[in-house]
Structure formats: C-alpha cells, structure tokens
Chains A and B, each alone.
Chain A
Amino acid sequence: MSLLVYALASREVGPLRLRGVRAERLETVRIGSIDAIVGTMTTPPRPTARVLRQYDHVIRALWARRGAVLPARFTSVMRNRSELELTLRVRQSTFRRQLALVRHRAQMTVRLVPGSGIRDPGSAGSPYGRSRGTRYLMHRAGVARLDHISDVGVLRAAVKRWIRAERADVRAGVATIYHLVPRTSVPRYQEAVGRAAAAAQLRVQVSGPWPAYAFAEAW
C-alpha cells in the first residue's frame, strides 16, 4: 500500500469529504500548520488523459474548500506515512512560505506563439570590460522573463496590476506565461488580456483560473 499525495494545503478545521482518482476516500496528514491530502492505493495510476483530468478535478474540489492549495506533481507517491511526515517536517518552512504566496490567488496561463518567432536571446554583449559578470546576470534575468519576446511584454503590461508572481518558459516554439493573480481579479484579467491580444493581433490561448500548479515549485 502506498500513499498518493494530491496536494499540500493550509491547515483548516473540519473533516475532508473528498474522493480521489480511484474513488478512494482522501485523508489528511498533518504536520504543523500544513496538511497533506493523500489517497491510499496499491499501485499508482498511470498518467492517461482521463486520469489527469480526474486529478485536476480532485485538486479543484480541494481548492474550493481551502484558501491555499499547492498541488503535488503527478504522481507523488510516498511509501508510507512516516516517509511523508519526514518529508513535510524537513521542508515545512518552504511549504509554509509557498502556501502563503498562493493563498486566495489563482493561476492564469497564457500561451503565445510569437508572431515573429522566438529570437535568440543573444549574449550579454562584449565579454570584456568591467562588470561583465553583472551584465551577464542581468541578461540571464531578462531571458528568464522572456524579455527577448516582445509580445510577452505587451501582454504583461496589460495585466500588470494583478500580477502577484510570474513564471515563464519556452518550449516547442510556444511561450508560456503563468500569472498568479487574486482570485477575485480573474474576470478583469481575462478581459484585459483578451483586449490586449486583439489590439496587438497576437495569437494567444488563455486558460484559468487554475490552482497554483506553476507556483508550487519543484525546487
């Protein structure tokens, strides 16, 4: 028997009446101010489309009941309760901080195929001269923010006031930006990004609100 961890959540009173992807009753494992929401099963489920949708559904149901939820990557399997408790205890201050970041906030995902393609971010300029280390670091910070893709800046500017945190990556020719915004701002965010995309004739796909998957950082 092993434990499938669905998410970490801020501790709250009251019983959890939820079922998991195998219709198993979900339980709460408490460490300090953090709850781990788990399901017991013999073998972990395979990541088919159907199971992943169910997983998302379970996370959302939890999200509807708790102010702060950090989804776990699929599949996060703990051999037993002690292993889970040890993991939580060792990393609890990190988890507490992450839970505080995502409390009452939602993730919006914006996918963009840059109109002019994805340019090479280039280098930090001349390798000589003073402060080249500083320039390199600043250049890398810009690359991480996708500064080299101008369409991203356009969208970001339109929703800046609601951004509480941002993550970004580029894969397979698609730039993805994740924004953590107050849950109550979601409709205004959607409207603003839609207007900005239309005005700049950008091809975007916006989805959300999601639980804060991209802000429940792996490391």
Chain B
Amino acid sequence: MKKRKSPKAARATPKRRRTHVVAKAGGLTVSEVRELRALRRQLERAGGGSSSPLRWDADPDEVRRSVARLVLTLVEFIRRLLERQAIRRMESGTLSPHQTEDVGRALMQLEATVREIALTFGVPPEELNLDLGPAGKLM
C-alpha cells in the first residue's frame, strides 16, 4: 500500500475551510475534500449508528406517501437488478438480438413507469433508496 506523507501544508493553514487540492503524493493529488467528506457521510449514514434492522414506519398522517415510497423503492431495486443482469447477458452474448431488443424495451418502459408513479405521488427520485441499517444501502 502506498504510504502518504502527512499534509504539512494543510496543517499550517488555520481553521479556515479548504476546498481545493490539499496534498500531493507522488503523481497523485487528493481530490476535493468536500466531496469526499460528503461521500463518507453518506456511507456512514447508510451503515447507521446502531445495529437496528431496516425499518419501514408509516406515518399515520402520510400513509399514502409512505406506501408509495416503499413500493417504488422495491420496484426500483428490482429494476436495477434486472438491468444489471440484462446488461451482463447482452455483453456475454447469451441473449439473442431479438431478446436483447425485447428486454431493452421492457426495461425502458419500466424506468418510465417508475418515474411517472414517483411524479404522481410526489416522491423525488433521491428518496428511492432504502436504508438497510448495518447491512448498508440496499442499492
């Protein structure tokens, strides 16, 4: 594993937030700190602070929307699974041209359907992702 030198340059700078390149090591530069932090926060949230299992908890004032979100998230999860397998089969040549066309069209319509329903229920696309607690993000 490549060892990195400590970023003396960063330490010399006081508490002011830095958003550009902060260190170099060999030919590699450390990318935007802000994005990496955001990514790490996202991952940590996925991991959860506790070992509680995945939870679906319908708010009595918003049951319709909670149900829509659950259903859409599951359908979107399945769509991504199907898409991944379809791509693998297409790339490994185990789908006939006719099958490729049919499967592709079905996936296209599936994606459009998920979008439409999400729009109808006012569920923004970013919400279509179940948090699996310590098991990590579903997708």
Residue numbers of A with Cβ under 8 A of B are 43-47, 73-76, 111-113, 124, 127, 131-138, 140-141, 144, 171-174, 190, 193-195, 197-198, 203-209, 218-219
Q: CB < 8 Å: which of A44, A74, A127, A203 contacts B31? A: A203
Assuming the contacts A134-B104, A136-B104, asked whether A172 and B134 have C-beta atoms less than 8 A apart, the reply is no
Interface of B is mostly: helix
Interface size, chain B (Cβ < 8 Å): 41
B116 close to A (CB within 8 Å): no
Chain A residues with CB under 8 A of B81 = 219
What are 10 A-B contacts with C-beta separation under 8 Å?
A75-B134, A113-B35, A137-B86, A137-B104, A141-B90, A144-B83, A171-B39, A204-B28, A205-B30, A208-B1
Complex interface residues of chain B between 82 and 139 (CB less than 8 A to chain A): 83-84, 86-87, 90-91, 97, 100-108, 134-136
Complex-state Cα separation, A204 to B44, whole angstroms: 21
B27 pairs with A198, CB closer than 8 A: yes
Interface of A is mostly: mixed
B56 → A minimal CB distance (Å) = 19
Q: CB < 8 Å: which of B39, B48, B87 contacts A47? A: B48
Chain B residues with CB under 8 A of A206 = 2, 28
| Binary interface encoding of chain B residues 69-81 relative to chain A, with 1 for a CB under 8 A from any of its CBs, else 0 | 0000000000001
Complex-state Cα separation, A172 to B48, whole angstroms: 18
B29 pairs with A204, CB closer than 8 A: yes
Residue on A with the closest CB to B26? A194
B6 close to A (CB within 8 Å): no
A144 pairs with B31, CB closer than 8 A: no
Chain B residues with CB under 8 A of A204 = 28-29, 31
B63 close to A (CB within 8 Å): no
B54 → A minimal CB distance (Å) = 13
A193 → B minimal CB distance (Å) = 8
Complex-state Cα separation, A174 to B47, whole angstroms: 19
Assuming the contacts A132-B105, A205-B28, asked whether A137 and B38 have C-beta atoms less than 8 A apart, the reply is no
A134 pairs with B27, CB closer than 8 A: no
Complex-state Cα separation, A190 to B31, whole angstroms: 16
Residue on B with the closest CB to A131? B101
Assuming the contacts A134-B104, A141-B91, asked whether A205 and B31 have C-beta atoms less than 8 A apart, the reply is yes
**Interface pairs A-B: 10 shortest CB-CB:** A133-B104, A133-B105, A194-B27, A137-B104, A198-B27, A203-B31, A172-B38, A113-B31, A172-B39, A133-B101
B35 pairs with A136, CB closer than 8 A: no
Complex interface residues of chain B between 9 and 62 (CB less than 8 A to chain A): 21, 26-32, 35-36, 38-39, 42, 44, 47-51
Complex-state Cα separation, A184 to B43, whole angstroms: 30
Q: CB < 8 Å: which of B29, B35, B90 contacts A197? A: B29
Complex-state Cα separation, A44 to B97, whole angstroms: 49
A24 → B minimal CB distance (Å) = 17
Chain A residues with CB under 8 A of B135 = 73, 75-76
Chain B residues with CB under 8 A of A43 = 51
**Residue among A46, A134, A144, A204 with most chain B CB within 10 A:** A134
B87 pairs with A140, CB closer than 8 A: yes
Chain B residues with CB under 8 A of A219 = 81, 84
Complex-state Cα separation, A133 to B1, whole angstroms: 44
Chain B residues with CB under 8 A of A190 = 2
